């Protein structure tokens, strides 16, 4: 997972997964991406950054189940420049967590340092982390908790990051397909 440089092979796979064949007509363009980054004081992680600039800004086709949100729609109500507060899964429904008052932390998990990519429905939203130690990783945030995507976290056999998350979906695999320990 390289957050700083887009791999042409990954970009081609992303275009194929989303069936992008409009010659970039649905892409934002670099001027719009740079303006967005300046406005929100972030640099988007690759390959997502190049994908929205050159391929497409959102899609009715998944992932997630109900399609990928456009850049501006995914940033609505988000505080992108604030660091994402988690580095490990946290099911706050079952755990008070390491915090005296978990409510402010839950609010930060939902809004700080992440771009909402879209939803699988029933409050299961997927986020791309744009600031903090997990920059470039994908997290599923629900009403019950938050879980990082990628084999290194133990919930899936998928590769981490935006390209790994899309590839996992395009291969028709279940999101949480790791063998039980």
Predicted pLDDT at 120: 92
pLDDT for position 44: 98
Distance CA 21, CA 86 (A): 37
Q: pLDDT tens for residues 107-164?
A: 899 999 999 999 999 989 999 999 999 999 999 999 888 999 999 999 899 999 999 9
Q: Is the pLDDT of residue 175 over 90?
A: no
Phi, psi of 170 (to 5 degrees): -60, -30
- Decide: residue 172, CB within 10 A, 0-12 exposed, 13-18 middle, 19+ buried: exposed
Token pair of 95 as six digits: 């755990």
Average pLDDT of the chain is 90
pTM of the model: 0.92
Q: What is the pLDDT of residues 9-28, one digit of tens each?
A: 999 999 999 888 787 788 99
pLDDT digits (tens, 9 = 90+) for 122-133: 989 999 999 999
Q: Across residues 21-42, what is the average pLDDT?
A: 92
Architecture of domain 8-170: 3-Layer(aba) Sandwich (3.40)
For the chain, which residues make up each domain, given as ranges? 8-170
Lookup: tokens for 93: 């429904």
Which residue's structure tokens are 């990082």? 148
Q: Do 109 and 146 meet the contact criterion of CB atoms below 8 Å apart?
A: yes
Number of residues that this document lists for the chain: 181
Work out the average pLDDT over 68-75: 91
How far apart CA 146 and CA 138 sit, in angstroms, is 10
**pLDDT band, very low/low/confident/very high, at 48 (cuts 50, 70, 90):** very high
Q: Using the Cα atoms of residue 172, residue 165, residue 74 and residue 118 in order, give the sign of their dihedral.
A: positive
pLDDT at res. 1: 86
pLDDT tier at 97 (50, 70, 90 boundaries)? Answer: low
């Amino acid at each position: 997972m390289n957050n700083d440089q887009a791999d042409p092979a990954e970009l081609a796979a992303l275009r194929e997964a989303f069936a992008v064949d409009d010659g970039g007509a649905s892409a934002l363009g670099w001027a719009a991406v740079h303006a967005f980054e300046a406005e929100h004081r972030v640099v988007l992680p690759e390959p997502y950054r190049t994908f929205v600039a050159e391929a497409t800004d959102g899609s009715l086709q998944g992932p997630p189940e109900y399609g990928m949100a456009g850049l501006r729609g995914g940033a609505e109500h988000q505080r992108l420049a604030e660091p994402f507060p988690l580095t490990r899964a946290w099911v706050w429904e079952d755990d008070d967590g390491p915090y005296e008052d978990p409510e402010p932390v839950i609010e930060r998990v939902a809004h700080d340092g992440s771009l909402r990519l879209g939803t699988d429905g029933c409050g299961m939203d997927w986020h791309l982390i744009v600031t903090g130690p997990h920059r470039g990783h994908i997290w599923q945030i629900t009403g019950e908790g938050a879980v990082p995507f990628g084999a290194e976290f133990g919930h899936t056999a998928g590769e981490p990051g935006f390209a790994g998350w899309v590839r996992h979906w395009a291969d028709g695999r279940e999101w949480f397909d790791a063998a039980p320990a």
